[in-house]
Structure 1
């Protein structure tokens, strides 16, 4: 297959390879897809009905685009070069996700991730062949830049008080606008305000900004037009300011790492230009970040036009100054550097000197900003974040814990993995302490969990081969800056490196950018002619047949899922406005027809049936509730809310022993859920006393043993939490609650361990003796003491003062023969 021609022969190439109107139409749709995605498809991290529809729409659109591509490129597609085989090999990625369905912890999330992965590969295949033509390559690169610059501007508009204006810009096509504002474009946490733009998560936005900071510098240096130089130079300050406003420690730590990795491939003259442009922009950004932080904080509390104008003035003036200086550098300094360093740059290893020097410089700057008072030039919130960069900081310790727990999952699901969303489904079973994180904060570990060793080897082999062949090709020959793929290399490297610390690729748009960039690198990689003759019509037709069949199947599946999602959303909206059972039930039944495992639909219908049963006492509603929940649990065995619905069913049936069984048999899935263990221990206690009344010693002993084992689990957990480093946050509450103390004390008393019972009950004692639960704990505590020959006169006096009848109840407990 003839390679596309770039550089000085590009005009001749365009005459030979004229781009047809249908291809231009595909490019237009492709670019519109890139514009639509970041404002629609956010984080896919679990059972979120509000966010699943954009996944299905994007999957549908990408599948349709792939079918169009097949029609346009069927005759052009050949298997002659290594890059052609990369396209074939890319199909292995969604196949590994399909294989992981066999052992998926959540069929619902696994199917969603299969569709997302298929979308990525569709984008990869389409982009690879579009980018082979320079004219389209230039158009797509410029479109990516335009989208990224708009996202950056969108974030700053929100920061400087223009949330309603920003919402109006995208509200007509985005489902993430609430009350005329884009949801969480500026988020608030314990660190204060943090800029997130379209991502609603500051760390992922930092990864995005890091990538496009370097892309903007690259675009500035390569630009041959004055307006291109000024545009990209103008954007450097907004990008750096936005990066600082995210307050992302991971972004600041990974920024110099990626910068040095990128410098290594550049010639010395380009390296110096990059350093100059970044230094100028960095100084200007630091000069305005302090007032912009203060103004943004004020404007997000109460908007005033004067403050907004002042903020924009700071930003625009600094950007204009840097753009002007950048133009001057490119106009006068760049040619001089090329002349002076051109010959030197052709020598081997000369490109390593500046990266090594930059490494030393970065170390010095890091020491000044982290270890000295120099950081005081920064805004207080950024200064605090820098001050806390160390290996004992709680977020670092928590990430290490996530990674250790992730390896526990891999150990139990080694070959094919736990399916898409495996971590979100399983982490409560494997976690070391009661944190809440539906993401493992490391893309590669999370990928390993989802597809196992087989899928992980396929993925690493796929991207590793592309990076290896691209870097080898980049170093061996010169191409013009649009054809050498470095634009795409920057994006892929930046996002993937940052993803060692976070879950950036759990955002569909970030995943699209990575796979689009891998396609751009594949176009420019060192692609040799295949030794064997693969370019046989039977192989090409077979590949297209498999691709078409798989695409059509997924399109059919997606259309069904989209209809199910629409029906579920209709029901959810009706719940807030309608009192009609039949009206709400109809769309829920429709939603469950194609997806009986859909968690939220099953929860809504089951809950509604149980409520109607409570009103009518008609068993048909209760049986339908059971049927819906039990079917959903076949595919969603780790869904806590579905399990609670099953408990509710057994309670309504009067089958308390079966409710207890649900809690007991699933306790290990939620090892740090104190509410789950509270319910398990309280039910153990109630059933043990019921068995005692019925003189069923075998059952009584069974419930005693299991209840006390559950209590021991809680006590051991409390002791384990004391071993956590003091800097690490525990997570959710986990302690011996008054309810647990009461019921565990009862069980210990029944087992004859009076002293242990008294000690346990004392843990739960409070100071409010008007509270019925506290009086009950005091009653059993005093009875346990009395049975063991002890007393607590102070507690006794307080209890009797609250209710004199308690004395008789204490004696009744003491008299029982357990």
Structure 2
């Protein structure tokens, strides 16, 4: 294969290599894949059958493209430079995920992540060799920019009330459009409306926007055509406004960090042009953000064509003005700056002065917006978000907690990790408080958890080598050369840096963008020749054999997973409309044929069997339910729903002690699940009381002991939560519930601990004595006090006033011999 030519020789060359039609077809396929993916494949860590099929289709399509690449490049490929070695090393990334399957805590999610990583590597290898040719590189860059600009426009269409039109644009190929509306393109939380566009998560959209804001500025400054300058200049205001509408604090914090890092790569003249262009666009965006915010809030409540036109008027007007000013800057200011600062840029370390000055400038702007009344120029919700940027803010404290808990997981699974999706399965076992987060909110920590130290070293070695070799080559070449890969550096660097604070890489499209960025950097990195013994026929053939065999194997797996997922989704839809057991069961059996560990299908089928058993009392349904559950739990031992379903099976079999055992044996997996502990304590009392009736004191003591230990776990947890910083949110409810207080109090009283029983029962009392449960708690509370020669006259009077016969019941409890 011919190598790309850079620098003056490339600019002067009149020879354009003829590209075969097969390669053009592969380029078109890659671009169509990039268009399809963001509207089909979302978050990759879930366990919902609704969203898994597009992931398998994406893996299938990327695998097919890789096989086409093998066919095209089989005879052209040579292991003659370091760049080719990077393509070989890329295969180690999915291999580490394959190794983690052997120790995976969730086989289902680990397989999903294996598909994901395989897709990333397929896209990396294909893009790497396509982008070595400048003509194809240009096409791919323009395609990526066009897709990004469309996503920005798509988000603003939804913000300004045109959600029906936006949905119609993508509804014909997207599975995320519901009733003509893209799902959660504008989301609502405690901060109000937040723009998410295609991502359904505002922080990840902010990371995407940050990357393409800098890409747009780079493209604007680089453009030599008037229409390119105007197009990229026009998009600056919509992107900045969109960033503000996400209300992402992480995006606002990381944006100046990435900006200053990128400035270090530029000559002084280019640095000033970036600052000028962004400054003009930023001022214009701030000027219209308040009306755009207010109009969007209004339009998402009730659509008004006049309000929508007004919003678009603000947006388009500001964009046109900024585009015009940007053209003037590039036409007149840029040549002047180049003339004045061209010589300065050749001196050592002169490129540091403007970035250092930018740090001061960013600090001043941050102080004005956070520490002064200057923030009044922003809408109220944005002003509040800015004011809350500090290290004591709850989201910061929560992330720190996630990171500390992640380290606990890593210590227990150091070498091969937990397998893909390990954090989502394990975090409830390791968490410091009852938060809900199936993501670590740090891509690198999550990656380390999933593949362990071995896989993490491979991954970090891979990306750091590309960054090192790219930067090393970049500083030696003409930085104005179109094909220097800086476009791709911006994308990869921006997303990866923001991923220190969030889970952007759990979105397939964001991961694909990063690997396309890495491929673009690798295509032009400094690449020294390899020794001749690398470029042997058996090594080349072995490489292609590994790719072909591995890809074909994964294709078969993905086809099976697509079939299984289709059947599972069919069954899920039938559950709401069909009353036929056989009709619903058939697709569930089909779904579990290739994937018996599929959690949702196993749960549906076992639940269905248990329902039919309650109607027919036919043991064959219970037997099938047990078989399905135990098989799934072999690979999904941390799945709470499957475990609870297994306990239900034992209850139907009349084996309450085994059901209790499920809750007891797995309690440490869900340390902060108050419902789990409520059930465990209730079952402990029920079984202990039954043993008491049967005069089996040993069993009674055993059940009461475990029940009271579970109660103490709850009490200790409540005390621990009091030590959290006041700014940190607790998470899910966790307290001594009335049911827990009642059952624990009964067990203490029956164990001869009257004073402790009274103190425990009092925790469950409420002021409502018309409530039967509260009356029972009060009855046992007063009986415990009486046993301890104490009383609570106020509670007694309220209880007797509500139900006079309670006096007799209290005496009966006191007279009981335990």
TM-score by length of 2: 0.99
Q: Paired residue for 2:100?
A: 100
Q: Paired residue for 2:796?
A: 796
Note if contact 2:6-2:481 (Cα within 8 Å) is conserved in structure 1.
no
Note if contact 1:469-1:525 (Cα within 8 Å) is conserved in structure 2.
yes
* 1:716 has 2:716 as partner: yes
* Structure 1 residues 395-451: Cα deviation after superposition (integer angstroms, max 9, x where no partner): 000000000000000010000000100110000000000000111100000000000
Q: Paired residue for 2:318?
A: 318
Q: Paired residue for 1:616?
A: 616
Q: How far off its partner does 1:615 sit? A: 0.5
User: Where does the alignment leave 5 or more consecutive residues of structure 1 unmatched?
Assistant: none
Q: Paired residue for 2:747?
A: 747
Give the Cα separation in 2 of the matches to 1:2 and 1:601.
51
Q: Paired residue for 1:183?
A: 183
Q: Paired residue for 2:766?
A: 766
Give the Cα separation in 2 of the matches to 1:141 and 1:205.
20
Q: How far off its partner does 1:542 sit? A: 0.5
Give the Cα separation in 2 of the matches to 1:362 and 1:257.
9
Q: Paired residue for 1:200?
A: 200
Q: How far off its partner does 1:808 sit? A: 2.4
Q: How far off its partner does 1:799 sit? A: 2.0
Matches within 5 A, 1:43-442: 43-442=43-442
Give the Cα separation in 1 of the matches to 2:766 and 2:355.
63
Residues 162/373 of structure 1: CA separation in 2 closer, same or farther (3 Å cut): same
Note if contact 1:222-1:481 (Cα within 8 Å) is conserved in structure 2.
no
Give the Cα separation in 1 of the matches to 2:637 and 2:32.
39
Note if contact 1:6-1:13 (Cα within 8 Å) is conserved in structure 2.
no
Give the Cα separation in 2 of the matches to 1:147 and 1:761.
62
Q: Paired residue for 1:693?
A: 693
* Structure 1 residues 672-704: Cα deviation after superposition (integer angstroms, max 9, x where no partner): 000000000011011111111111111111111
Q: Paired residue for 1:527?
A: 527
* Structure 1 residues 150-205: Cα deviation after superposition (integer angstroms, max 9, x where no partner): 00000000000011110111000000011110000000000000000000000000
Give the Cα separation in 1 of the matches to 2:186 and 2:481.
36
Give the Cα separation in 2 of the matches to 1:17 and 1:331.
32
Residues 127/729 of structure 1: CA separation in 2 closer, same or farther (3 Å cut): same
Give the Cα separation in 1 of the matches to 2:537 and 2:429.
51
Q: Paired residue for 1:42?
A: 42
SS at 2:188 equivalent: strand
Note if contact 1:417-1:453 (Cα within 8 Å) is conserved in structure 2.
yes
Give the Cα separation in 2 of the matches to 1:635 and 1:784.
47
SS at 2:193 equivalent: strand
Matches within 5 A, 1:317-716: 317-478=317-478, 481-531=481-531, 533-716=533-716
Note if contact 1:137-1:482 (Cα within 8 Å) is conserved in structure 2.
no
SS at 1:5 equivalent: coil
Give the Cα separation in 1 of the matches to 2:772 and 2:606.
33
Q: Paired residue for 1:29?
A: 29
* Structure 1 residues 714-749: Cα deviation after superposition (integer angstroms, max 9, x where no partner): 000000000000000000000000000000001111
Note if contact 1:5-1:13 (Cα within 8 Å) is conserved in structure 2.
no
Note if contact 2:266-2:479 (Cα within 8 Å) is conserved in structure 1.
no
Note if contact 1:10-1:134 (Cα within 8 Å) is conserved in structure 2.
no
* Structure 1 residues 246-299: Cα deviation after superposition (integer angstroms, max 9, x where no partner): 000000000000000000010111101000000000000000001000000000
Note if contact 1:441-1:501 (Cα within 8 Å) is conserved in structure 2.
yes
Give the Cα separation in 2 of the matches to 1:640 and 1:353.
56
SS at 1:47 equivalent: coil
Give the Cα separation in 1 of the matches to 2:393 and 2:479.
45
Q: How far off its partner does 1:807 sit? A: 2.2
Single out whichever of 804-813 and 189-198 deviates more from structure 2.
Answer: 804-813
Single out whichever of 14-23 and 740-749 deviates more from structure 2.
Answer: 14-23
Note if contact 1:80-1:533 (Cα within 8 Å) is conserved in structure 2.
no
Give the Cα separation in 2 of the matches to 1:635 and 1:776.
43
Note if contact 1:7-1:479 (Cα within 8 Å) is conserved in structure 2.
no
Give the Cα separation in 2 of the matches to 1:346 and 1:49.
58
Q: How far off its partner does 1:8 sit? A: 5.1
Note if contact 2:755-2:788 (Cα within 8 Å) is conserved in structure 1.
yes
Residues 650/14 of structure 1: CA separation in 2 closer, same or farther (3 Å cut): farther
Give the Cα separation in 1 of the matches to 2:96 and 2:611.
42
Give the Cα separation in 2 of the matches to 1:12 and 1:28.
28
Give the Cα separation in 1 of the matches to 2:109 and 2:389.
34
Give the Cα separation in 1 of the matches to 2:48 and 2:507.
14
SS at 1:726 equivalent: coil
Note if contact 1:6-1:480 (Cα within 8 Å) is conserved in structure 2.
no
Give the Cα separation in 1 of the matches to 2:568 and 2:672.
31
Note if contact 1:4-1:13 (Cα within 8 Å) is conserved in structure 2.
no
Q: How far off its partner does 1:551 sit? A: 0.4
Q: How far off its partner does 1:793 sit? A: 2.1
Note if contact 1:80-1:530 (Cα within 8 Å) is conserved in structure 2.
yes
Note if contact 1:491-1:513 (Cα within 8 Å) is conserved in structure 2.
yes
Q: How much is the aligned-residue C-alpha RMSD, in angstroms?
A: 1.1
Give the Cα separation in 1 of the matches to 2:608 and 2:658.
21
Single out whichever of 797-806 and 596-605 deviates more from structure 2.
Answer: 797-806
Q: How far off its partner does 1:706 sit? A: 0.5
SS at 1:161 equivalent: coil
Single out whichever of 373-382 and 232-241 deviates more from structure 2.
Answer: 373-382
TM-score by length of 1: 0.99
SS at 2:440 equivalent: coil
Q: How far off its partner does 1:7 sit? A: 5.2
Give the Cα separation in 1 of the matches to 2:71 and 2:422.
36
State how many pairs are aligned: 818
SS at 1:194 equivalent: strand
SS at 1:224 equivalent: coil
Give the Cα separation in 1 of the matches to 2:702 and 2:470.
65
Give the Cα separation in 1 of the matches to 2:142 and 2:191.
36
Give the Cα separation in 2 of the matches to 1:14 and 1:544.
34
